[in-house]
Amino acid sequence: MGSKSSSDSRQTTNNTNTSLGVNGDNNGYMTVGNGNTYNIQQTDHGLVDGMVSIWGDMAGIQHSMMGVVGDMAYDNAQMTQNVMSDGFAFAGGVSRDAIDAMRDTNRDSLDFAESTQGAAYDLVAQGAGAAFDFGRDALDVGRDGLEIGGNLARDAQQQAFAFGADALFAAQTAQNNAFEHSIASSQSALDFGAGAVDAMSNLAGDSMQYNAALSETAISENSSLAAGIASLTADMQQSNNDFAAGALNTTVQAVSSATGEMSNLARDAMSMNAQLSASAMEAYDRAGDQTLLAHKQALQFADHASRSDGQQLAISTNKTMTYVMLGVGGLALAMVFLGRK
């Protein structure tokens, strides 16, 4: 049995010399040749996670800003309500105190006028009683004077008649001796008796005139005193009325002034609160605009970073975005707190 063998050996070698040169930072990759297979994973080095975290912080900051603005509006409304309530309570207290003071003053004035008028009436009554008593006493004195004058006249007449009778008896007795002398003596006696009667009559008349004049003077003086007291009482009553009217006008002016001042205070407080609310809303709008701008810039940076070809550019972009977002958040918080103050 025979054997057969054969062999064939072939070898092909191709050498190509290629010189490659790289200058500068090499932060990417280099491929030489054809038919190479690569396993490449692209990373953003934490940019998306950082943006998600910053976005969550900005949402929390925005929510806090809305809460702070709401608290500011509530505090401003509460402060306005308290200012207006305190103002109206103060004005009501001032008005009530003024009315009480006016009522007390008017009551004291009326009580004083009543007591003064009562005292004046008592004084007039006492003066009139004293005048009437004095007049009655004067009439009693006149009556006594008339009685005394009448008694004196009666006694004088009786004495004159007795003396005349005695003279007639003496004349009749001495008629035989001296008729003419007796007639003369009788005439003298009659003249004396008539003179005595006239003198007593004049005395009684003078006494009555004196008593009448004295009574008239007493009544006139008491009437003048009563008129003076009545005039003084009227003047005092008018003064009290003027004082009460002045107190009322002063009280009304004070109440009106206090009400006007409290109205101005409430109006100024409402205006200041409205301005503060407008400033807070404007600050909130600016903060919202800054937040939207920051989000837009962050998305632009993320887009640029996702299309970059270098690792160092992505890292720098992430740091830049972190600083920018932190700065925007701090600025928003500062604006909120400044607007609240």
pLDDT digit string (tens) for 63-74? Answer: 676 777 677 777
Would 161 be classed as within a structural domain? yes
User: Closest Cα partner for 204 from 170, 154, 263?
Assistant: 154
Task: Give the per-residue pLDDT at 107.
Answer: 79
- Which of these ranges, 162-171, 259-268, 299-308, has the smallest mean pLDDT? 299-308
Task: Give the per-residue pLDDT at 137.
Answer: 72
Distance (Å, whole) CA 175 – CA 113:
88
| pLDDT(100) > 60 | yes
Count of CB atoms situated within 10 Å of the CB of 76:
18
Distance (Å, whole) CA 128 – CA 119:
14
Rg of the chain in Å (alpha carbons):
68
> Is the distance from CB of 164 to CB of 193 less than 8 angstroms?
yes
Distance (Å, whole) CA 84 – CA 264:
10
- The more confident residue out of 230 and 34 is 34
Q: What is the pLDDT averaged over residues 318-339?
A: 63
Would 40 be classed as within a structural domain? no
Distance (Å, whole) CA 208 – CA 214:
10
Would 24 be classed as within a structural domain? no
Task: Give the per-residue pLDDT at 256.
Answer: 72
Task: Give the per-residue pLDDT at 72.
Answer: 74
Task: Give the per-residue pLDDT at 309.
Answer: 47
Whole-prediction pTM: 0.32
Alpha carbon of residue 273 to chain centroid: 24
State which residues form the domain around 201: 47-340
| pLDDT(112) > 70 | yes
Backbone angles phi, psi at 17, to 5 degrees: -90, 120
Q: What is the pLDDT averaged over residues 95-113?
A: 76
Would 317 be classed as within a structural domain? yes
Q: What is the pLDDT averaged over residues 126-135?
A: 68
Domain count, the chain: 1
Task: Give the per-residue pLDDT at 157.
Answer: 59
> Is the distance from CB of 289 to CB of 280 less than 8 angstroms?
no
Task: Give the per-residue pLDDT at 196.
Answer: 62
Would 330 be classed as within a structural domain? yes
> Where does the pLDDT of residue 84 fall: very low under 50, low under 70, confident under 90, or very high at 90 and above?
confident
Task: Give the per-residue pLDDT at 308.
Answer: 45
> Where does the pLDDT of residue 245 fall: very low under 50, low under 70, confident under 90, or very high at 90 and above?
confident
First-to-final CA distance of the chain: 116
Would 39 be classed as within a structural domain? no
Count of CB atoms situated within 10 Å of the CB of 139:
14
Q: What is the pLDDT averaged over residues 124-150?
A: 67
Would 153 be classed as within a structural domain? yes
Would 283 be classed as within a structural domain? yes
- The more confident residue out of 226 and 108 is 108
- Which of these ranges, 33-37, 175-179, 187-191, 257-261, has the smallest mean pLDDT? 175-179
